[in-house]
């Protein structure tokens, strides 16, 4: 059949399916896009020509549409996503931040930026970069480092191998991330004889890899000998659907669990072995237990500095690691025994392996779990006046959200506070993007989450700074009739960075907003139901209204940024200047030197 490259690609994408554990469904829920020259006549025509192929979703900002795709993919445990089409130039490069966020969070998104004419017949086209020393460079080359697969389609028939390669990466649990197919605008419209098999329904069988048997035996031995074992549950537990397997495995052995940002929800918050958040934004339970643990079993975690408190959270000199991860890179971190495999399959493979946490250690973990919960109660009911504290806002939203509802967040002081305080009751109930911590992800990512789970209420918690960076997808949520409940926490600026700056002796320099903003008027102008509340009681009433409402609601509440949630014996490495005329900076540098001495490298060979 003779089709244009764009028509062939859209038909191909509409025919891709994934299957895992016998459940099969389409991989692409649709195609987000903003048209301009570079896609309007190619991909645009192809989408219009085949309305039953890939449903089209119009966005307001290209970065936002990648976030929506990523939020959707994450809520779908990476079993489904969107394609995103853009014009050439700024439309394309607006997606770079979204691409990096998706790749760093290991979430599949397919990016289809328009590219300059392959023929070069009208060079330089509007928005085309001219590079004196290289004729084959375009702005789209900036996608290379932030993509797990990149190709530029210079001839129409090249789309056949490129599209297959793209699908392999998108459906690989280990390799997934942003995939970029840069599409020169003339090539999109060129026709070729498309092989029928290319367009046939194709099912990608999502792999559950079993780790190497010898590695399993070595890991089982190490775990059996442990007295103070600790599991650190990362996003891989949730993506793999391993939460039940994890619960059974730790219950049988009395092994406590700390949760990373992506792994929060691996166990319900009130499970006695759930010590809650670990690391720089960790709670006292997980962080204290981590300090003495002798074997740490990381499951589906990439050991970011927030999880390890910049490599200070584990202090046992004899500590050994076992890393269960589909990604080899992660499985080998911290000199661990590498179990390269799927979390659920690996836990099942270790089901018969004996292990028992020491009784006193278990009792201490239980005591700390209870103490952490009392601390959450305290912070939920802080009674800060005249302005409420952010922790009280979190408490109010948590108490009104249903057990299956979802909280979405990404940057500022909210993610850390949510990590410590949010009571997660469902494995998919906590969707905080903290791999890239992208200001502006919140509303767009929340929309993606809602598209993946329309039967759940989605609570987007967003700071005033993040809101001002990227809030326009409120319009899209209204257009699509996918309701979001947005709670905008206004502390008049970049409070998290202000606090960080003060801790570094820089006094909050450049982090406050002096210009008042009427956020309710702003949100109302976009079409949302918008209110501004002053007290927690008013917030609760507004949240109840929002639950009943059919449209997206934005509730703004001003908070007291000085009533912040403490950090629990944790640290995060940010380096103050080595020399400075500022006295406070010099003092911070000295404190930094002391704290750094707690950093560990975990080099002990097997
Ligand atoms: C796109 C982007 N730019 C800059 C940063 C660095 N940064 C992290 S948090 C933050 C301030 C966020 O302000 P706000 O949303 O009001 O949250 P708050 O810190 O006040 O809780 C900044 C500037 C970032 N994470 N993302
Ligand atoms: Mg703020």
Alpha-carbon span 252 to 229, nearest angstrom = 13
Q: Report the pLDDT value the prediction gives residue 353, as an integer from 0 to 100.
A: 87
In a mutational test of the pocket of ligand 1, which residue from 61, 94, 104, 412 has the highest number of ligand atoms less than 8 Å from its CB?
412
The DSSP code for 274 is E
Ligand 1 binding pocket includes 558 (Cβ within 6 Å): no
Which residues, in sequence order, are bridge partners of residue 376? Answer: none
- Confidence bin at 52 (pLDDT 50/70/90): confident
* 250 close to 373: Cβ distance less than 8 angstroms: no
Alpha-carbon span 433 to 439, nearest angstrom = 10
Alpha-carbon span 109 to 176, nearest angstrom = 9
Phi, psi of 80, deg, nearest 5: -160, 155
Ligand 1 binding pocket includes 127 (Cβ within 6 Å): no
- Confidence bin at 160 (pLDDT 50/70/90): very high
Alpha-carbon span 310 to 592, nearest angstrom = 12
> Stretch 514-543: mean pLDDT, rounded?
98
Ligand 1 binding pocket includes 463 (Cβ within 6 Å): yes
The pLDDT tens digits for 297-315 are 999 999 999 999 999 999 9
> Stretch 336-343: mean pLDDT, rounded?
98
> Stretch 399-426: mean pLDDT, rounded?
98
Q: Is the confidence at residue 355, as pLDDT, over 90?
A: no
Q: Report the pLDDT value the prediction gives residue 83, as an integer from 0 to 100.
A: 98
- Confidence bin at 260 (pLDDT 50/70/90): very high
Ligand 1 binding pocket includes 439 (Cβ within 6 Å): yes
Ligand 1 binding pocket includes 266 (Cβ within 6 Å): no
The pLDDT tens digits for 414-449 are 999 999 999 999 999 999 999 999 999 999 999 999
* 539 close to 526: Cβ distance less than 8 angstroms: no
Q: Is the confidence at residue 344, as pLDDT, over 90?
A: yes
Residue entry with tokens 């996608």 = 143
* CA of 508 relative to ligand 2 center, distance in Å: 13
The DSSP code for 389 is P
- Confidence bin at 38 (pLDDT 50/70/90): very high
Alpha helices in 404-472 (DSSP H): 414-421, 441-452, 464-469
The pLDDT tens digits for 359-387 are 999 999 999 999 999 999 999 999 999 99
Query: How much is the pTM?
Result: 0.98
Residue 2 structure tokens = 């003779």
Residue with CA at minimum distance from ligand 1 atom 23:
494
Nearest Cα residue to 9 out of 145, 87, 111: 111
**Ligand with minimal distance to 557 CA:** 2
């Amino acid at each position: 059949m003779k089709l244009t490259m764009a028509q062939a690609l859209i038909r191909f994408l509409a025919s891709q399916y994934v299957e895992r554990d016998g459940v099969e469904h389409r991989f692409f829920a649709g195609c987000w896009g903003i048209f301009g020259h570079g896609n309007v006549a190619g991909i645009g025509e192809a989408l219009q020509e085949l309305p039953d192929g890939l449903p089209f979703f119009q966005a307001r900002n290209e970065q936002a549409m990648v976030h929506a795709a990523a939020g959707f993919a994450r809520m779908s445990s990476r079993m489904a996503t969107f394609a995103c089409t853009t014009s050439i130039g700024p439309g394309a490069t607006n997606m770079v931040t979204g691409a990096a966020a998706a790749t760093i969070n290991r979430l599949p998104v397919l990016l289809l930026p328009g590219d300059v004419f392959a023929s070069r017949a009208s060079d330089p086209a509007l928005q085309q970069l001219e590079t004196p020393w290289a004729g084959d460079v375009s702005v789209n080359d900036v996608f290379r480092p932030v993509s797990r697969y990149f190709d530029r389609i210079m001839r129409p028939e090249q789309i056949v191998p490129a599209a297959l390669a793209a699908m392999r990466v998108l459906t690989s649990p280990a390799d997934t991330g942003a995939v970029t197919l840069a599409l020169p605008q003339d090539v999109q419209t060129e026709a070729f004889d498309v092989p029928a098999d290319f367009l046939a329904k194709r099912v990608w069988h999502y792999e559950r890899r079993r780790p190497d048997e010898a590695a399993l035996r070595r890991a089982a031995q190490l775990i059996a000998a442990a007295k103070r074992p600790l599991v650190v549950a990362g996003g891989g537990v949730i993506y793999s659907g391993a939460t039940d397997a994890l619960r059974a495995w730790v219950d049988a052995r009395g092994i406590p669990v700390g949760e990373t940002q992506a792994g929060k929800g691996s166990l319900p918050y009130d499970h006695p072995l759930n010590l809650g958040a670990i690391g720089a934004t960790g709670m006292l339970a997980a962080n204290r237990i981590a300090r003495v643990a002798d074997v740490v079993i990381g499951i589906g975690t990439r050991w970011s500095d927030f999880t390890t408190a910049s490599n200070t959270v584990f202090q046992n000199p004899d500590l050994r690691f076992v890393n269960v991860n589909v990604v080899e890179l992660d499985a080998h971190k911290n000199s661990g025994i590498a179990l390269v495999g799927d979390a659920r399959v690996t836990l099942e493979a270790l089901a018969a392996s004996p292990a028992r946490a020491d009784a006193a250690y278990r009792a201490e973990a239980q005591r700390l779990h209870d103490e952490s919960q009392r601390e959450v109660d305290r912070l939920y009911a802080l009674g800060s006046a005249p302005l409420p504290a952010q922790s009280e806002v979190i408490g109010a939203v948590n108490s009104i959200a249903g057990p299956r509802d979802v909280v979405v967040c990404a940057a500022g002081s909210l993610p850390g506070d949510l990590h410590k305080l949010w009571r997660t009751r469902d494995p998919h109930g906590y969707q905080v993007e903290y791999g890239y911590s992208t200001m502006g992800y919140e509303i767009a990512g929340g929309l993606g989450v809602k598209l993946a789970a329309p039967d759940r209420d989605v609570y987007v918690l967003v700071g005033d700074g993040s809101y001002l960076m990227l809030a326009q997808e409120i319009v899209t949520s209204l257009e699509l009739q996918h309701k979001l409940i947005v709670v905008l926490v206004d502390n008049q600026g970049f409070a998290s960075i202000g606090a960080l700056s003060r801790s570094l002796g820089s006094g909050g320099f450049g982090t406050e907003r002096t210009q008042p903003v009427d956020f309710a008027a702003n949100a109302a102008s976009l079409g949302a139901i918008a209110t501004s509340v002053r007290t927690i009681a008013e917030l609760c009433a507004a949240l109840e209204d929002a639950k009943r409402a059919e449209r997206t609601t934005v509730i703004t509440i001003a908070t007291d940024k000085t009533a912040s949630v403490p950090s629990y014996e944790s640290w995060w490495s940010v380096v103050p200047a080595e020399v400075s005329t500022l006295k406070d900076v010099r003092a911070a540098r000295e404190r930094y030197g002391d704290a750094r001495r707690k950093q560990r490298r975990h080099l002990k060979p097997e």
